[in-house]
Amino acid sequence: MGTGGYAQTVADVVAESVSAFDSADAMRLSCIGRVGPQAQFVDGRLSTPWLGEDEILAELPRSIRFVLGVGAPPLREALWAHVCELGFLPIPARRHPASVVSGDLEAGPGTVIAPLVVVTTNVLLGAGVKVQDGASIGHEATVGHFSIINPKAVVAGCVHIGESVMIGAQAMVLEGRKVGDGARVGAGAVVTRDVPAGATVVGNPARVVL
């Protein structure tokens, strides 16, 4: 679900992925196409075809699994609900083989872990989570449904990330901190204290700006 460049990066990771739980799983997935508003280069620079607007979903077999290819957490949540109501199921949690994931990871359906990610012990990832290239998640951390951890962000041990949260590229959330539902952590921010639900924080140390 999604038709821009972000959707293409998700499709590329999933095409190379293995099960998030079993490194021996050799099942390959293929992307039949992208669904959503027509985007620039939708039939050119991006390699998977555009199938059509959301209305095309009514014509597709319900045996097809879906994955979220949009980068805005609130929209991810809304799309998930919409597609599930139509009778589609998400893909099982997947990770790129160039990631390092502990054997006790728990991850919900639709979660995608990109290359060069490190996920340490006893981590819980909700449904529809995207962990971007080079990010790391420490021991006993939790990440709520539909949240996105952007490239090279660091989520330290015992951190609790709420639902529909955006952690910016190269941001750092220090050990034991909580980031409330719907919050946004700016790129490069260093979170040294809890972030309220719905807040936007930036800077080092991170401060609320919205």
Q: Which of 96, 139, 145, 160 is catalytic?
A: 139
Mean pLDDT of 179-186: 98
* Residue 137 belongs to some domain of the structure: no
* Residue 142 belongs to some domain of the structure: no
65 forms bridges with which residues in the sheet?
Answer: 89
* Model pLDDT, residue 61: 94
* Residue 129 belongs to some domain of the structure: no
* Model pLDDT, residue 23: 59
Q: Identify the sign of the CA torsion 5, 74, 94, 168.
A: positive
* Residue 24 belongs to some domain of the structure: yes
Residue 64 contacts residue 88 (beta carbons within 8 Å) = yes
Residue 133 contacts residue 149 (beta carbons within 8 Å) = no
Q: Which of 153, 109, 115 is nearest to 129 (CA)?
A: 109
Assess whether pLDDT exceeds 80 at residue 26: no
CA–CA distance, 210 with 202 (Å, rounded to integer): 10
* Residue 120 belongs to some domain of the structure: no
Residue 69 contacts residue 2 (beta carbons within 8 Å) = yes
Whole domain around residue 40: which residue ranges?
5-90
Chain segment 33-79, per-residue pLDDT in tens? 889 988 766 655 667 788 999 999 999 999 999 999 999 999 999 99
Mean pLDDT of 203-207: 97
Residue 10, SS3 per DSSP: helix
* Residue 180 belongs to some domain of the structure: no
CA–CA distance, 135 with 143 (Å, rounded to integer): 13
Count of structural domains, the chain: 1
* Model pLDDT, residue 32: 87
* Residue 35 belongs to some domain of the structure: yes
Q: pLDDT-derived band of residue 30, with 50, 70 and 90 as boundaries?
A: confident
Instruction: Determine whether 82 is an active site residue.
Output: no
CA–CA distance, 95 with 118 (Å, rounded to integer): 11
**Tokens linked to 141:** 């951390």
Q: pLDDT-derived band of residue 21, with 50, 70 and 90 as boundaries?
A: confident
Q: Amino acid identity of 35?
A: V
* Residue 48 belongs to some domain of the structure: yes
Chain segment 88-143, per-residue pLDDT in tens? 999 999 999 999 998 899 999 999 999 999 999 999 999 999 999 999 999 999 99
